[in-house]
Amino acid sequence: MTSARHWDEAYSSRGLDGVSWYQAVPVVSLELVAALGVTPDAAVLDAGGGASTLAGELLARGFTDLTVLDAVWKWAPDGNATRTNFKLQGEWMRSSRRGTLAYDTAGVNLFGDYSQASSGWYLQAIYQFVPRWRVGARSERLDPGAVTYVGPTLLDADGYHPRKNTLMVDFSASEFSRLRLQYARDQARQGFTDNQWQLQYQMSLGAHGAHGF
């Protein structure tokens, strides 16, 4: 039994609250929100919420601007993922900042209202077409957004959207090892394209999900 199949079966047989990582009240997450000084009027995005109760707990504490994004789609013939399976996963993120900014240029202290909204997303797919062999593709993109500032135009975005596309193929020799070949076309910098090739060997030692420790 593969570790992926083990955890899929554990999740489906034990239910949402029967797995070790489930918390009826996400204490650590709530403590982090408090430690960061996040106020109830702030916008909160919970990406990959899953079965977490964080959004409900924040709502009960007076938070009103909440967004939860989590998109995963899995497919397997007759529900048997050991031979063939497909997984599609995506995530969207958004950052919004606003306040007052002081900007000093040529010895002149300029200040004014400042706001910026930027976003990014990725979408990836992995297909196991025969046992032990998989192929995958991933696309990701950033949108710097627009800057609103009563001051110098130096802060304005130039409209460039950094992006990266990746292809991979891997072979799992056993439950403990995997060999992967990956190619990425990275255009994070405007006017430059970075073609990246990677050959990776992964190996794990010790206890794993398929057997008891």
Q: Give every residue of the chain whose pLDDT is below 50, as ranges.
A: 12-13, 213
pTM: 0.65
Report the sign of the C-alpha dihedral through residues 51, 54, 57, 59, in that order: negative
Can you give the pLDDT at residue 42? Answer: 82
Residue 29's nearest CA partner among 5, 49, 8, 1 is 49
- Cα–Cα distances in angstroms (integers) from residue 113 to residues 6, 8, 147, 154, in the given order: 53, 50, 11, 15
Q: How many residues does the chain have?
A: 213
**Tokens, residue 88:** 């599609």
Check: CB of residue 87 under 8 Å from CB of residue 74: yes
For tokens 């990776």, the residue is 200
Residue 194's nearest CA partner among 183, 202, 182, 205 is 183
The residues facing 183 across adjacent strands are 167, 197
Question: What is the Cα–Cα distance from 155 to 173, expressed in whole angstroms?
Answer: 51
Can you give the pLDDT at residue 120? Answer: 81
Can you give the pLDDT at residue 22? Answer: 67
The residues facing 198 across adjacent strands are 182
Can you give the pLDDT at residue 213? Answer: 46
Can you give the pLDDT at residue 7? Answer: 60
Give the 3-state secondary structure of the chain.
Answer: CCHHHHHHHHHHHHCHHHCCCCCCCCHHHHHHHHHCCCCCCCCEEEECCCCCCHHHHHHHCCCCCEEEECEEEEECHHHCCCCCEEEEEEEEEEEEEEEEEEEEECCEEEEEEEEEEEEEEEEEEEEEEECCEEEEEEEEEEEEEEEEECCCHHHCCCCCCCEEEEEEEEECCCCCEEEEEEEEEEECCCCCCEEEEEEEEEECCCCCCCCCC
Check: CB of residue 141 under 8 Å from CB of residue 163: yes
